[in-house]
Amino acid sequence: MNRRHFLVTASSAVASQAWAAANDRVRLAIIGVGSRGTAHIREILPVANVEIAALVDPDGRRTESAASLIYEKTGKRPKLESDMRRVFDDKEIDAVTIATTNHWHTLTAIWAMQAGKDVYVEKPVSHNVWEGTKLVEAARKYKRVAAGGTQRRWSGRFRKAIEIIHSGELGDIYQANFFFPGNRDSIGFKEPKEPPAYLDWDLWLGPAPMQPYHENLVHYNWHWFWDFGNGELGNNGIHFVDILRWGMRKKLPVRVHSTGGRYGYRDQAETPNTQNVTWVFEDGSMIVGQLRGLYTAEPPSWDFFGTKGHMHITANGRVQITMGRNKQPEPEPEYLPTIDHFENFAEAVRARDPKLLHAEIEETALSTALCHLGNIAYRVNRELRFDSERMQFVGDDEANRLLTRQYRAPYVVPEVV
């Protein structure tokens, strides 16, 4: 199938939304049904007037298992596909949720939007910086409802924390920090072998270079290989970066620096298990991130440092504020209600209004871009200056090459979406 096949004509756009005139049911396809895609299923099943109509995964065992879960709860069996392009042909599908490997996120979403579908894209929403810009362009061009999977934006505790920060109670935020312990052990080494019969290896690789199959890629450890994943910074760090950037009302930095390595063992993985990143913005304020995969008793956390006070947010979202030089924290605030993120997505789809989304795709794409910039600084091992107008590093060809990738036909993110 070529790209033209997916372009949306006026008639296909009308057909794909014919459900809206009849009722408010949203028919979804879930693309990628591993651990995260299965979580999508469990979270979507209770949402009223939303039907999981199709499941897509290049691993046939996964679609069969997920279909059994849906049948057990609903008595209906969804359509099963290995190739997402057949789902995009289906005019009865209104929207897709995307929980593929990272390197498929953007192309899947663009193809879906070109076919007239709305999209919910798991984090990180792109595999590289350039992809993120194309993803947002496609959402705007095709007037799609597009959400990113930074789920804490729906949390009542985090929403309250951001409300307090934006009220000015802490003063001007000059620095925000996060800490994430990944608890990662060695993945060892796996030898190349023939892909199993139940896996379509070409589809699994998609936009990535053709290479031998080995069991450290399928199905989770791909996170730690640059062709497919984005390390712990793109895996879990995105959730932490997103909260801090949201609170500081920042977009992209002007400088980025990262250090770290893979400590404690030697294995097949490429990404760091320990990483420290600093992003500096035009006004001199900064975000500082620390990720550790080895041994620590310290829990995950967020911290905002303002000219009037300090906010510490615990792993479960509890807000602790100390003002000035006080040593005793302020009383814990009254939190806002938590909003179901898939209910919110379905509501926005029905209303045809992306403004209803609590994590609209541009916001998640910006936070994802910070993760990519941090990883690039780590890979080239030097501080980088970034020009957000040109979306290029200043005077660094090596770093600029890592803003995008070489795509393997026909799985190519298009220059013109």
CATH number at residue 245: 3.30.360.10
**Same domain flag for 317 and 244:** yes
Q: Are 197 and 59 in contact (CB under 8 A)?
A: no
**Same domain flag for 323 and 379:** yes
Domain-embedded: residue 414: no
Q: Give the model confidence (pLDDT) of 130-171 as tens digits.
A: 999 999 999 999 999 999 999 999 999 999 999 999 999 999
Query: Domain count of the chain?
Result: 2
Domain-embedded: residue 198: no
Domain-embedded: residue 206: no
Q: Are 162 and 137 in contact (CB under 8 A)?
A: no
**Same domain flag for 37 and 159:** no
**Same domain flag for 261 and 278:** yes
Q: What is the pLDDT at residue 15?
A: 38
**Same domain flag for 30 and 173:** no
Domain-embedded: residue 407: no
Q: What is the pLDDT at residue 226?
A: 98
CATH number at residue 92: 3.40.50.720
**Same domain flag for 124 and 247:** no
pLDDT per position in the chain (417 positions), as tens? 333 333 333 333 443 444 343 469 999 999 999 999 999 999 999 999 999 999 999 999 999 999 999 999 999 999 999 999 999 999 999 999 999 999 999 999 999 999 999 999 999 999 999 999 999 999 999 999 999 999 999 999 999 999 999 999 999 999 999 999 999 999 999 999 999 999 999 999 999 999 999 999 999 999 999 999 999 999 999 999 999 999 999 999 999 999 999 999 999 999 999 999 999 999 999 999 999 999 999 999 999 999 999 999 999 999 999 999 999 999 999 999 999 999 999 999 999 999 999 999 999 999 999 999 999 999 999 999 999 999 999 999 999 999 999 999 999 999 999
Q: What is the pLDDT at residue 14?
A: 41
Domain-embedded: residue 290: yes
Q: What is the pLDDT at residue 247?
A: 98
**Same domain flag for 226 and 268:** yes
**Same domain flag for 284 and 349:** no
Domain-embedded: residue 202: no
Q: What is the pLDDT at residue 7?
A: 33
Domain-embedded: residue 222: yes
Enclosing domain of residue 221: 154-188+212-337+367-401
**Same domain flag for 264 and 135:** no
**Same domain flag for 352 and 374:** no
DSSP code per residue over 251-303: ---SEEEEEEE--S---S--S-SEEEEEEE-TTS-EEEEEEE-S---PPPEEE
Sheet holding 79-81, edge to edge: 79-81, 50-56, 26-31, 95-98, 118-122, 146-149
Quick one: which H or E segment has residue 159? helix 156-166
Question: How far apart (Å, rounded) are the C-alpha atoms in residues 335 and 249?
Answer: 21
Domain-embedded: residue 411: no
**Same domain flag for 236 and 173:** yes
Distances in Å between the alpha carbon of 319 and those of 46, 174, 241, 258?
A: 29, 19, 17, 28
**Same domain flag for 166 and 88:** no
